[in-house]
Structure 1
Amino acid sequence: MAQIEHIVFDIGKVLIHYDPNLPYSRIIPDEEERRWFFQNVCTHDWNIEQDRGREWSVAEAELIEKYPEREEQIRAFRTHWHEMVPHAYDESVAIMETLIEQGHDVTMLTNFAADTFRHARELFPFLNTPRGVTVSGEIFLIKPDVEIYHVHARDFGLDPAKSLFIDDTIVNVEGAKAAGWHAVHFTGAAKLREDLAGYGFHV
């Protein structure tokens, strides 16, 4: 069994729920039009650049120039962002808090825009409980770039060979492994408990 001394959590879809459809089902009620909007206007690739550090004003201006008739819907992404994160995953949060209470070293590594993460910390105070966090939008790197794992390990004094990363996205899990970490794919709290038990953590 590998000796793990550091446990690192992703946040979105591991600790808190995220779904852009929640506000947009009201903003664009037609399902086909909404699907087109996310495939062509406020796309995943567009949004990930805010996680990489691009300012929202720049991101909005870029899209509004291409789709001026969609300005209100484009600006709604940031305006109604808080509706996209309606609740925490209580079981996952309980696991993380139990690990901290047991005295284990817990940090977080997340792809998140800098300003929305500040908002998330207000909405979900448990995000302030771990020892610290690396936020992609603050350092202009995103997972699965191996460099972001190196930066997190350096900044928090982690030995990659003794670090375990938890993420809901396979490519991010693979990125951590490429950086020399141990990593598990999050699919739910029950599976996470099993994975942690495999490393000797019982929560």
Structure 2
Amino acid sequence: MAIDAVIFDIGNVLIEWQPERYYDRVYGEVLRRELFANVDLHGMNENVDRGEDFRETIYATADKFPDYADAIRDWHDQWLELAKPVIPHSVALLRALRSKGIPCFCLTNFGVGSFAFAETQYPFLTEFDRRYISGHMRVTKPDPQIYRMVELDCGVAPGNLLFTDDRAENIAVAADRGWQTHHFEGPQGLAARLVTEGLLSDAEAAP
């Protein structure tokens, strides 16, 4: 089946997202394990991804856990240190596809404020033909509703979409809706898939 558009996740596809790595480096693994065991930081971030205010949500959580307040606030104040580095080969694939006139969308769990900040640091985030940001949509993957919203907006039949994401559960829901999917485990695998589908040549897909 033909592919009329490619949809990229962002975290761990275009930008590495491993917050634990930051906390290990700054606070040490022992404290990081204690922090993450006592405070649901990923649940806090999920609320941001559903559209709650970036700073207010994180600072309110810090106020509830004064023993860890500084570390929790880092989720906001040092956010760029959590969301890095860029995965250069993935960005090159995005740009190669667009240079050939192939529409590229993003579908990402990302907060309103955090995405607005990320745009100022990572220019490629402005380059998608359409952007589907969970914070604006107020629903996150893998809720089927977010995929339905993409389908209704983009005008491309589900079977003609190729969606890549690093989380198997997000891929599974898209596949159930008839999307073509690629489980992202590294840019080399995505490059090979794009070549197999005839979207890029070997040279165009090279790092």
Normalising by structure 1, we get a TM-score of 0.91
DSSP-derived class of the 2:76 partner: helix
Is 1:19 matched up with 2:35?
Answer: no
Contact 2:44 2:57 in 1 (8 A): no
Contact 2:58 2:75 in 1 (8 A): no
The count of residues paired between Structure 1 and Structure 2 equals 200
DSSP-derived class of the 2:6 partner: strand
Q: Distance in 2 between matches of 1:36 and 1:188?
A: 30
DSSP-derived class of the 1:194 partner: helix
Contact 2:105 2:128 in 1 (8 A): yes
Q: Distance in 2 between matches of 1:61 and 1:22?
A: 23
Q: Distance in 2 between matches of 1:14 and 1:26?
A: 22
Letter in 1 for 2:80: H
Identity %: 33
1:197 to 182, 186, 195: 195
Structure 1: unaligned runs, 5 residues or longer: none
Shift of 1:27: 4.2
Structure 2: unaligned runs, 5 residues or longer: none
Is 1:170 matched up with 2:168?
Answer: yes
Normalising by structure 2, we get a TM-score of 0.89
Q: Distance in 2 between matches of 1:70 and 1:155?
A: 42
Letter in 1 for 2:36: F
| RMSD of aligned alpha carbons | 1.6
Q: Larger deviation: 146-155 or 105-114?
A: 146-155
Matches within 5 A, 1:108-147: 108-147=106-145
State the partner residue of 1:181: 179
Contact 2:75 2:82 in 1 (8 A): no
Is 1:4 matched up with 2:8?
Answer: no
Shift of 1:122: 0.9
Contact 1:173 1:184 in 2 (8 A): yes
Letter in 1 for 2:31: E
Is 1:60 matched up with 2:48?
Answer: no
Shift of 1:130: 1.6
2:72 to 58, 71, 74: 74
